[in-house]
Structure 1
Amino acid sequence: MGVAEERTRPPGWIFLLLVVALALGACRDTGKEALFEITGRLVVFNYREAMLTYVVTLKPLKPIEAGQVAVTTMDNPAGGESLVFTQKLFPGHTKVTIESPPLECVVKERPYKVAIRIQGADGKLLQDIETTMVSAQDEDMLPDRPLVVGSGYQPNPELEGHRDGRLPGGRGVSCPASG
């Protein structure tokens, strides 16, 4: 190979730089189809209401279109069929908050599956989002009944004589054996 040929061929580092740039571009393109990303997951213990829920927040990566819905399926900590519920999504919102119905039998450090299907107005699947919820506390830390009732937050008469919120019969829920 002569001196003239070496000067016309690009150095090897330029080729490597081109390959890296193409690879990074390909990685960026893989997220183009995502409509939402998870920005938060929280297990909420509302001690005053004696209620526990899961909350998942989503950030829209593209504008929400009219008629879109989130169909959420969650493991039921109390056992049995999964919990399934649908929530309308509204154009213009910059955050979507998905909250479960009240839950029973949540066990500390046990992962519970959550699947969120984003569907268009025609019912067509637009995105599948999967995550897990893990609580840092067992559900049994909640009182057996709400501590207060009514718009004036009057003490719950069911708890009279039970200042700790614990009743002899407990919450009245039979939870599956953990393990």
Structure 2
Amino acid sequence: MRRHLIVTAAAIGVALSACQRQAENLVEVTGHLFVFNYRVASATYLLTLKKTGPIPDGSVIIAEFENPVGGAPLILNQKIYPIDDKIALQSENLHCVRKDHPYSVNVRLVDKDGKVLQQLKTEFRSDLDQTVLPSKPLVVGALYDKNPEVFKPDGSVDFSNTDKCPS
């Protein structure tokens, strides 16, 4: 009888431990790319995430994008709202993006008390060098007027890229 009771207790313990949920992912990466905007002469990282579980109110996403110039990462803190099913994270403007170079991004989902709920990493690669962009925006102002620094009064144009990038 005692042996039967011990075996039953052990079986119940194993069954209950199997019912515990594994740590679930609250977000997953659905896309990542470089956005080259020729009109305003800018390049940015764009990372999209999808919610896959309930995220506590007051949570933020902290993304650390590798800086193509080198040095400290570019850090983005973005609040997550309960209504958002999709989350788009866009970096500040970049300089010196190189074709086929891997750039890492570390993402942390943090609750309002600073507890890390999830971490993930991904990698970006561009199929273009940033040298395809001009150094100056092609247009200025709300009416998209031609930029006089690019489109000269004498009819010449200057699409050159003057970024000084490490090799």
Q: TM-score, normalised by structure 1?
A: 0.76
How many angstroms apart in 1 are the aligned matches of 2:158 and 2:81? 42
- Distance (whole Å) between structure 1 residues aligned to residue 151 and residue 83 of structure 2: 47
1:15-65 Cα distance to aligned partner (Å, 9 max, x none): xxxxxxxxxxx8xx65x5200010011111000010001101000001332
Asked whether the equivalents of residues 78 and 104 of structure 1 are also in contact (C-alpha less than 8 Å), the reply is yes
Runs of at least 5 residues in structure 1 that lack an aligned partner in the other structure: 1-25
Aligned partners of 1:137, 1:104: CA distance in 2, in Å? 13
Partners in 2 of 1:160 and 1:56 — Cα distance?
34
Amino acid at match of 2:126: S
As a proportion of its length, which structure holds more helix? 1
Q: Any residues of structure 2 matched to 1:59-98 within 5 Å, and which?
A: 59-98=50-89
Is the Cα–Cα contact under 8 Å of residues 105 and 139 in structure 1 kept in the other structure?
A: yes
**Residues 1:165 and 2:140 aligned together:** no
- CA distance in 2 between counterparts of 1:148 and 1:64 reads 41
Tell me which amino acid in the other structure corresponds to 2:28.
Answer: E
Aligned-pair CA distance for 1:164: 5.0
What is the SS of the residue equivalent to 1:107? coil
After TM superposition, give the deviation of residue 163 of structure 1 in Å. Answer: 2.6
Q: Which one of 107, 112, 118 corresponds to residue 127 of structure 1?
A: 118
Which residue is 2:106 aligned to?
A: 115
Q: Which residue of 2 aligns with 1:51?
A: 42
Contact kept? 1:63, 1:92, Cα under 8 Å: no
1:65, 1:90 within 8 Å by CA — same for their partners in 2?
no
Q: Give distance in 2, aligned partners of 1:88 and 1:38.
A: 17
Partner Cα distance (1:158, 1:65) in 2: 49
Which letter maps to 2:164?
S
Letter paired with 2:138: L
Indicate if the aligned counterparts of 2:47 and 2:89 stay in contact, CA closer than 8 A. Answer: yes
Once the 2 structures are TM-superposed, how far is the Cα of residue 174 of structure 1 from its aligned partner? 2.2
What is the CA distance between 1:135 and its match in structure 2? 0.2
Q: 2 CA distance for matches of 1:150 and 1:64? A: 39
8 Å CA contact 2:151–2:158 kept in 1: the answer is no
- Bigger radius of gyration among the two: 1
After superposition, give the CA deviation of every residue in 1:76-115 in whole Å (9 maximum; x if it has no partner): 1011111112111111111000001100000000000000
Question: What is the TM-score when the length of structure 2 is the normalising length?
Answer: 0.82
